[in-house]
Amino acid sequence: MRLSRRFWIALTICLGACSDHSGEAILSDYEARLSRTLDLNFESTAIAAAPRKPRAEALQLELQNSDIGTLDFLALTGCELQITIGKRNSSLGKLAPPSQRLLLDLEFLRHAPACIAHLESKADQQELVSLLEQSQILKQQQLARQIHNATLAGPEWHQFWKPQKIPVGYPSDTTSDQVLQALDAITAMADNWLRGDYVADNQMFEMHLNTLRSGDGGVILSATQTGHEFFSRWNTTLGEHTQQHACSPESRRTILETVIAKYFAGSVQQWLAPIMSRADNIQQASNQLENLLSQASSAEYNRWRQQRDDYIQAMKSLTVAHVKTLKRVINPC
């Protein structure tokens, strides 16, 4: 039975839609073509996995408590600070997540000066004034650590950098710039707070943190690890090949040039280059916040941060090394 032209067109469209355009498929295809062209077997090589961020809870920094007792709280009548302390001492306040604890501390720092001035005129409240002043100083001293707990050690930041499956087509033209905007906004807020401007838009701050929760830091780490796996074995095997073969015969060289142009430059690099560009943008925005809080961050966090950045940078080095190795492989006889 003769099949119609319409059937063949429909079948072609279907097969095209079902084909795998994932990064791993692109890398595997290039590897298979290199293998056939050079008669090589690319053996898996041991590589370091993408550094995993410590659990958010493990990165929380311990802070000194400066809560006002019940009797002192009642003496704050007439101060807006009384409402703030009431929220902090409530059952919900004691169980508040790091971001809410930060916002309550900022609220304390905003209202404390007016309350202290109000109580200073009362002779019987000097002890309370001293207690409030001590609490104010302590919260100022611990503010960077509190910001760290709410951001770099918070659950949103942990989810942001959690390795996850690489979406097909990542990063597409629709990759959200809201993540970068949220990072910049949080950094600007933190900088203002550390400079003594304690004004906070609570809803906006929480919204930016939630934007980070769905960000693609973890996708970058997954894509980088995939790149490490392939490029490491390519570079190792091709390096051994060039030691045994000083040049390529013309017949093989022509095919190899096509493979490199079409399947490395035209496919692998087309997949990898936008990811590395996205990684640069994410790293730069993340580093601004991390640099601001570096003195308050734990050694464990700073160690992971350095490992993360080095791992991404190593991917760029592997790419450069691969290009140099290809130039040696394709050397004509």
| 107 in Cβ contact with 84 (< 8 Å) | yes
pLDDT at 89: 78
pTM, rounded to two decimals: 0.87
Q: At residue 261, does pLDDT exceed 50?
A: yes
Indicate the pLDDT class of residue 10, thresholds 50, 70 and 90: very low
Distance (Å, whole) CA 90 – CA 67: 11
- Greater confidence (266 vs 12) lies with 266
| 188 in Cβ contact with 87 (< 8 Å) | no
Indicate the pLDDT class of residue 244, thresholds 50, 70 and 90: confident
Distance (Å, whole) CA 107 – CA 46: 51
Q: CA 188 → CA 181, 191, 288, distances in Å?
A: 11, 5, 9
Q: Which of 211, 205, 227 is nearest to 102 (CA)?
A: 205
